[in-house]
């Protein structure tokens, strides 16, 4: 009823609709041609063959259809499109395409960042797709003369958090049925010692694969939530490209994309290559074909927790190959497991780790209490306790909680009277300053921020201000 009178006639509305559809159809075709023209110019300069595809339909659907209909190797797509706004991390077209892709996908994050401006980083978890990503990285690294880093991340904190939370809902009888304490002890030993060694073995194999390809790589084992640990590594080393498998070592057939890969797709600042290509290291293939298992040894390895069974089997096979064995027995499995999990062989006289909650230093507790989200606060607290236990510390200190604070959202109380707000990571870093000088350094940094005209202290402001803060702490340095 709000339309002008002429547009309320059915014939006029039909006419306007036809005109609109013609103009839009023609206009979108012209826009597509313009995009193709610009891309073709770039391709010609690089002497790369170029072919046009201008299908009509939903963007993501047309891209998926093209992937399935044609013989392509990799899809290149921008992380953000025309709908990008402040705070956007990934566009809906990109997200939908990556999730449904049947081939490798390169997601461009920063048009000013060239591959080679920083190292190429590969996320390694021992899965065939992670080794496929490694082979792609080695190829790109050789072609562009860019260093390749291979990083494996494992989480030694998760099961401590999980078991502590489970313990609050299990009654004594249920705990006995579940054999809770035994399970807890098993996971502590397995995570702390066994999985770290398994992931290090993956890195060793990756290094061998790289050497066979004529490439020298940097390898590093990092602890933490895998996507967070890899993200930190990427940022620390200024990587220009991250390569990961689309799914990882724990994937089942129905999984479209792994959780760590999906988080890295959203969060890393560099370009990311999400791989579907699989590669099986020759040594693993030969070992699987030439090494046999006794029924008892096979049964023993199958009793390992499901989440680690495949990794444990790989570890045993690699050790057998290293020692020249062609038949695996229960005794050999026990020997390998005892090396991978010291104390996990069932020695009843071995001292058992205590799982009582630890005391907290006052400044560490203050830092924990500053976290807004209750569940995140709880989880970070348990991760900090686990970190303290790994250090054999009797108390949780700032150093134990600080590594987990980078992504935390703090309560408004972190805004000082002067109107300066502190980022969690910066506040955690401040706690490293000796207490006698901390307030002085804090004031110095806040004054520095005010002079810069900023109201938030982040890593960049803190870095610039620390030199002035050190001068305030140590006047003799001025001489």
| Closest of 281, 286, 293 to residue 331, by C-alpha | 293
Instruction: Find tokens 């999906």 and name the residue.
Output: 262
Q: Look at the domain 282-340 and name its fold.
A: Helicase, Ruva Protein; domain 3 (1.10.8)
Query: How sure is the predictor about 474, in pLDDT bands with cuts at 50, 70 and 90?
Result: low
Q: How far, CA to CA in Å, does 441 sit from each of 431, 458, 465, 474? A: 10, 15, 9, 11
Q: Which helix (H) or strand (E) holds 123?
A: strand 120-123
Q: Are 78 and 108 in contact (CB under 8 A)?
A: yes
Of 31 and 272, more confident: 272
Q: How far, CA to CA in Å, does 149 sit from each of 143, 203, 240, 258? A: 16, 10, 11, 21
Token pair recorded at residue 105: 């996908």
Mean pLDDT confidence for 162-188 = 67
Of 220 and 389, more confident: 220
Secondary structure of residue 220 in the 3-state scheme:
strand
- Tens digits of residue pLDDT in 67-115: 888 788 899 999 998 888 877 889 999 999 999 999 999 999 998 999 9
Number of other residues whose CB lies within 10 A of the CB of residue 159: 22
Tabulate helix, strand, coil % of the chain (nearest 5).
Answer: 55, 10, 30
Going from N- to C-terminal start, the domains of the chain cover 1-52, 104-275, 282-340, 356-405, 410-479
Residue 447 has pLDDT above 80, yes or no: yes
At 347 the pLDDT is 44
At 160 the pLDDT is 78
- Tens digits of residue pLDDT in 407-431: 676 655 455 556 777 776 677 777 7
> Same topology for domains 104-275 and 356-405, yes or no?
no
Query: How sure is the predictor about 309, in pLDDT bands with cuts at 50, 70 and 90?
Result: confident
Spatial separation of the C-alpha atoms in residues 372 and 63, rounded to whole Å: 41
Alpha carbon of residue 96 to chain centroid: 19
Number of other residues whose CB lies within 10 A of the CB of residue 367: 25
User: Which of 133-147, 189-203, 272-286 is the least confident region?
Assistant: 189-203
Domain 356-405: CATH class, spelled out: mainly alpha
Residues of the chain with pLDDT > 70: what percent? Answer: 80
User: Which of 206-215, 302-311, 346-355, 433-442 is the least confident region?
Assistant: 346-355
- Tens digits of residue pLDDT in 19-35: 767 667 677 778 888 98
Residues of the chain with pLDDT > 90: what percent? Answer: 34
Greatest mean pLDDT among 133-147, 194-208, 282-296, 308-322: 133-147
Q: Are 381 and 388 in contact (CB under 8 A)?
A: no
Largest CA distance in the chain: 94
Q: How far, CA to CA in Å, does 69 sit from each of 72, 90, 105, 106? A: 9, 26, 16, 19
In the predicted model, what is the mean pLDDT of the chain? 82
Q: Look at the domain 104-275 and name its fold.
A: Rossmann fold (3.40.50)
User: Which of 102-116, 205-219, 329-343, 375-389 is the least confident region?
Assistant: 329-343
> Which letter does DSSP use for residue 113 in this model?
P
* Residues 6+ positions from 335 with CB-CB distance below 8 Å: none
- Tens digits of residue pLDDT in 109-149: 998 999 999 999 999 998 999 999 999 999 999 999 999 99
Query: How sure is the predictor about 349, in pLDDT bands with cuts at 50, 70 and 90?
Result: very low
Q: What is this structure's pTM?
A: 0.71
What is the total residue count of the chain? 479
| Closest of 380, 345, 46 to residue 224, by C-alpha | 380
């Amino acid at each position: 009823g709000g339309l002008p009178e002429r547009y309320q006639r059915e014939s006029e509305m039909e006419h306007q609709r036809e005109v609109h559809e013609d103009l839009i159809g023609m206009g979108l075709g012209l826009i597509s041609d313009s995009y193709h023209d610009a891309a073709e110019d770039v391709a010609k300069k690089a002497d790369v063959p170029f072919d046009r595809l201008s299908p009509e339909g939903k963007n993501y659907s047309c891209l998926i259809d093209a992937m399935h209909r044609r013989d392509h190797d990799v899809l290149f797509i921008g992380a953000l499109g025309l709908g990008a706004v402040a705070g956007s991390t990934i566009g809906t077209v990109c997200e939908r395409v990556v999730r449904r892709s049947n081939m490798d996908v390169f997601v461009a994050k920063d048009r000013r960042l060239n591959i080679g401006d920083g190292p190429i980083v590969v996320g390694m978890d021992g899965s065939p797709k992670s080794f496929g990503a490694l082979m792609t990285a080695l190829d790109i690294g050789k072609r562009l003369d860019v260093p390749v880093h291979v990083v494996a991340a494992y989480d030694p904190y998760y099961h401590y958090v999980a078991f502590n939370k489970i313990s609050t809902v299990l009654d004594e009888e249920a705990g006995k049925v579940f054999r809770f304490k035994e399970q807890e002890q098993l996971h502590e030993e397995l995570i702390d010692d066994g999985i770290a060694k398994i992931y290090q073995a993956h890195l060793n194999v990756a290094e061998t694969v790289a050497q066979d390809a004529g490439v020298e790589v940097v390898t590093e084992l990092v602890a933490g939530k895998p996507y967070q640990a890899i993200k930190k590594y990427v940022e620390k080393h200024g990587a220009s490209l991250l390569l990961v498998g689309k799914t990882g070592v724990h994937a089942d057939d129905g999984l479209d994309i792994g959780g760590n890969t999906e988080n890295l797709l959203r969060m890393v600042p560099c370009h990311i290559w999400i791989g579907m290509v699989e590669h099986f290291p020759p040594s693993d293939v030969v070992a699987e074909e030439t090494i046999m298992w006794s029924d008892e040894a096979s049964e023993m390895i199958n009793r390992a927790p499901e989440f680690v069974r495949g990794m444990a089997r790989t570890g045993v096979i690699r050790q057998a190959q290293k020692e020249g064995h062609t038949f695996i027995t229960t005794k050999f499995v026990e020997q390998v497991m005892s090396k991978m999990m010291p104390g996990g062989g069932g020695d009843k006289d071995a001292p058992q780790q205590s799982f009582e909650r630890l005391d907290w230093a006052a400044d560490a507790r203050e830092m924990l209490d500053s976290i807004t989200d209750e569940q995140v606060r709880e989880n970070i607290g348990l991760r900090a306790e686990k970190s303290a236990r790994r250090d054999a510390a009797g108390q949780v200190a700032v150093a134990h909680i600080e590594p987990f604070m980078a992504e935390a959202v703090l309560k408004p109380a972190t805004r000082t009277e002067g109107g300066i707000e502190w980022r969690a990571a910066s506040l955690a870093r401040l706690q490293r300053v000796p207490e006698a000088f901390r307030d002085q350094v804090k004031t110095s940094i806040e004054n520095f921020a005010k002079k810069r005209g900023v109201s938030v202290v982040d890593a960049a402001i803190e870095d610039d201000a620390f030199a002035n803060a050190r001068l305030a702490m140590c006047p003799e340095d001025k001489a």
